Structures are given as C-alpha cells and as structure tokens.
Amino acid sequence: MDTTLLPDEFAGLDLLATMVVVVSADGECLFANAAFENAMRLSRRAVQKSQLPDWFDDSQRLVETLAGVAANQYSSSRFDAVLRRGAWAHEDGLPVHVIVSQMDPADDGEPRVLVELIEIAQLARQDRDERNLDQVQATKELTRNLAHEIKNPLGGIRGAAQLLALELQDGDPELTEYTQVIVHEVDRLQSLVDRLLAPHRKAQVVGDVNIHEICERVRALVLIEYPKGLDIARDYDTSLPDFRGDREQLIQMTLNIVQNAAQVLHSRIAAGDAQIVLRTRVARQVTVGKQRWRLALELHIEDNGPGVPAEIRDRIFFPLVSGRDGGSGLGLTLAQTIAQQHQGMIDCESEPGLTNFRITLPLP
Ligand SMILES: Nc1ncnc2c1ncn2[C@@H]1O[C@H](COP(=O)(O)OP(=O)(O)O)[C@@H](O)[C@H]1O
Ligand SMILES: [Mg+2]
C-alpha cells in the first residue's frame, strides 16, 4: 500500500468494516478505505483517480445521485446496486446497499461526496446472528424453567419408589425390579436436568488465560482418547495476547467442540486420515450480537469429517439437539453459553469434508 496517497483526514475510515469512498461531484475517487480495497481486490493506487461509477453495474444511477447530492438537491440518498470487481471482471458482482451523503468541501472548496457501500450478504449475516442470539436466549430461559419444574417432583418420585421397594422387600422380585427401574430412570433424568442447569449455576472464575495453552490442553486430552488415526494440527497466531476469562470453562467449551469433531471422524480415524485443525487468528472490528469490538480472537476448529447433518444444521446449538445415538445434545449448548459469558460467540459452517466451528472472543 502506498501511504503517500492516503489523506490523513480519512485515516480513521480504514478502521471501518463498511466500505467507504470519498468522491468528487463527478465521481472521481479521492479516497477509498481498506474495506473497499479488500472487497474489490484493488490496490489503493488503482482506486485513486479512477471513476467510482465505473465499478458499478448500473453507473447512471450513481452518477445522477452524486450530482444531486453535490448540488444540495438532497443531503443523502440510498439505493441498492451491484459492484463489479476490478480485475476479476468474470467474477460475480457484489450486491451492496449504497448510501450517498454530503460532506464538507475540500480545503480548495471542491465539493466532496461520501459513499458508503454495505455488503448485502453481510447485512443478512448480521441479521441472522442477531436473530440466532435472541432465539438462543429464549430457548435458554425456557430450558431453565422447564428443568426446574422437572427437578422438583423427581425427589418425591425417587423417595416413593424406594419406600415401595422396602414394602416389597420379601415379596415378588419382579416387582422390586420395577422399582429399581423407576429409581434408575429418575437418576438419569436428574443428571440430565443438572447438566441443563449447570452452566447457569457456577460462578465464573476469572483469570489471565492464553488461548494456545487452552488449545494444547484440549489437544492432549483428545489425543489420549484417540491415540491412533487422528491428527490434530495447530496453526497458531502467536501474537495473540492473553485475555481475562474462566480457564476451566474455556477448556470445556473447546473440548466439547473438538470431541464432537473426533466423534464424527470415526470412520476416517479407522482409515487413519482423520484431521482436526486448531487455528487461531486475530480479527479486527468484529460484531458479536449487537456489540462491536475493535479486536477479537478467532479459534477455528476444523475437521475433515462428513459435515453436520442437514436436518439439524440450523439447530445444533439448541439444547437436546443431537445427531448421534446416545448424544445428549448439550455439548454445543454449553459451549455457546460459555462463549457468550465471555461476550463471544460460536458459529459453524459445514459441508461434507470440511466443517469449521469458529469461536470469536473479544480481546481487551
Ligand atoms: N464437527 C462436527 N461435524 C458434524 N456434525 C457435528 C459436528 N459437531 C457437532 N455435530 C452435530 O451436532 C450435534 C450436537 O452436538 P452436541 O451439542 O455436542 O451434542 P451431542 O454431542 O451430545 O450429540 C452432534 O450430535 C452432531 O450431530
Ligand atoms: Mg457433543
């Protein structure tokens, strides 16, 4: 990047995730921020002095709007458009929402116009994340209330079954067996309910944590369980700083996800080519739910397994949703709760052969 082309007064715009271009009234690019260059895969030099309307599928609309805004016919205007990506002309266009606004003239009095371009896919993703978060919140509350309601009578049922067993002591052994079934099933329900309530009960123990120390710990634990046929590779960004968090909880969160991956990899483990990758990265200007963070860490847990079954893909973070025999469907719910307790979140992209669970945790 050639920084001499970067007017100081716009430097702050490089921090934005939204594409921003400052143009003259006739559409010449005076400045484009880093988000625009990245999305268009253009260098700053290629953008500078080019005509912004040239990057639009329908350039006329922008030309008219720019003229209108610059002439103060209206102070701002919005419309949807499709961006053509520079050198990759054969690539699909990029649908964007365009906001054109007036701004102060340059020092020499030339009128300037601010153009914001918001990726429509990104808008949709943010909407979806927010909806998911609300839904998770609602489900969590329902689960907690339901768990309490179930928990209360369980003690009574267990006690009554034990009394019954005493009464039957010298009687029919088959009847005694029934009471054992009741006690056994009550205990199973009890432990399920306890696990449903667990994440809300324990107080957080906050200290300095290092994400790589957590990854190493989880890696070692899982490799003990799967000593053969499973490769757990690491790709760490060691520049990531320590942060404040509950180490034990974060280990549990990571372990739940890595264990799921190992479980779905069973046939590849047998074949000897199962792979999980633990990848850490820095992320800038991330939005988690409704909050925005300047800096965050991303931990990607990738596996080359069969992918999340399509019929549960949208619901895997909900309690009791499981795609495997004997699964409780609580592992990812707990992991998501722990991430949220650290102001973070987990999302998942999955196709056969590549599943990626991404944990985003804000950094100070
Ligand atoms: N890496 C993965 N690849 C494919 N499916 C997965 C993966 N991780 C989770 N899943 C699916 O999500 C379901 C829910 O996981 P989880 O909440 O941990 O519950 P459980 O492991 O008890 O089934 C799993 O049963 C599985 O079907
Ligand atoms: Mg699990």
* Whether residue 337 has its Cβ less than 6 Å from ligand 1: no
Q: What is the CATH number of the domain that holds 75?
A: 3.30.450.20
User: Are 327 and 343 within one domain?
Assistant: yes
Question: Among 2-6, 19-23, 147-151, 240-244, which is the least confidently predicted range?
Answer: 2-6
Tell me which of 140, 252, 260, 351 to substitute to probe ligand 1's pocket, judged by most ligand atoms within 8 Å of the beta carbon: 260
> Would you place residue 3 in the very low, low, confident or very high pLDDT band (cuts 50, 70, 90)?
very low
User: Are 180 and 241 within one domain?
Assistant: no
User: Are 184 and 141 within one domain?
Assistant: yes
> Roughly how many angstroms between the first and final C-alpha of the chain, as a whole number?
28
Instruction: Give the span between the Cα atoms of 327 and 329, in whole angstroms.
Output: 6
* Whether residue 353 has its Cβ less than 6 Å from ligand 1: no
- For 73, the token pair is 């016919």
Q: How far is the CA of 216 from the centre of ligand 2 (A)?
A: 19
pLDDT tens string 63-88: 999 999 988 888 889 999 998 875 55
What one-character-per-residue DSSP string does 143-187 give? HHHHHHHHHHHHHHHHHHHHHHHHHTTTS-HHHHHHHHHHHHHHH
User: Are 304 and 235 within one domain?
Assistant: yes
pTM for this predicted structure: 0.66
Give the other-Cβ count within 10 Å of 243's Cβ.
Answer: 18
User: Are 16 and 107 within one domain?
Assistant: yes
Work out which ligand 1 atom sits closest to the CA atom of 261. 1
131 vs 30, higher pLDDT: 30
Angle, vertex CA 314, rays to CA 308 and CA 318, nearest 5: 100
Whether 43 and 36 have beta carbons less than 8 Å apart is answered as no
User: Are 170 and 120 within one domain?
Assistant: no
User: Are 23 and 102 within one domain?
Assistant: yes
Diameter over CA atoms, the chain:
104
Tell me which of 195, 275, 322 to substitute to probe ligand 1's pocket, judged by most ligand atoms within 8 Å of the beta carbon: 322
Q: Out of 93, 124, 155, pick the residue that ends a domain.
A: 124
What one-character-per-residue DSSP string does 283-329 give? EEEEEETTEEEEEEEEEEEEE-SS---GGGGGGTTSTT--SSTT--S
User: Which residue range is the domain that position 231 belongs to?
Assistant: 207-362
* Whether residue 323 has its Cβ less than 6 Å from ligand 1: yes
| 208 Cβ neighbours under 8 A, 6+ residues apart | 242, 243, 244
Q: What is the mean pLDDT of the chain?
A: 87
User: Are 320 and 231 within one domain?
Assistant: yes
Q: What is the CATH number of the domain that holds 261?
A: 3.30.565.10
Percentage of the chain exceeding pLDDT 90:
49
Whether 262 and 226 have beta carbons less than 8 Å apart is answered as yes
Q: Out of 72, 89, 124, pick the residue that ends a domain.
A: 124
User: Are 139 and 165 within one domain?
Assistant: yes
User: Are 97 and 155 within one domain?
Assistant: no
User: Are 161 and 65 within one domain?
Assistant: no
| 114 Cβ neighbours under 8 A, 6+ residues apart | 20, 21, 22, 100, 101, 102, 103
Count of structural domains within the chain: 3
Q: Out of 73, 98, 124, pick the residue that ends a domain.
A: 124
C-alpha pair distances (Å), 106 with each of 99, 110, 114, 119, 120? 20, 5, 12, 28, 30
Q: How far is the CA of 138 from the centre of ligand 2 (A)?
A: 21
272 vs 105, higher pLDDT: 272
User: Are 195 and 213 within one domain?
Assistant: no
For position 2, what pLDDT does the model report?
41
Ligand nearest to the CA of 311: 1
> Would you place residue 4 in the very low, low, confident or very high pLDDT band (cuts 50, 70, 90)?
very low
pLDDT at 356 over 90: yes
How distant is the alpha carbon of residue 213 from its chain centre?
Answer: 21
* Whether residue 305 has its Cβ less than 6 Å from ligand 1: yes
Q: How far is the CA of 216 from the centre of ligand 1 (A)?
A: 22
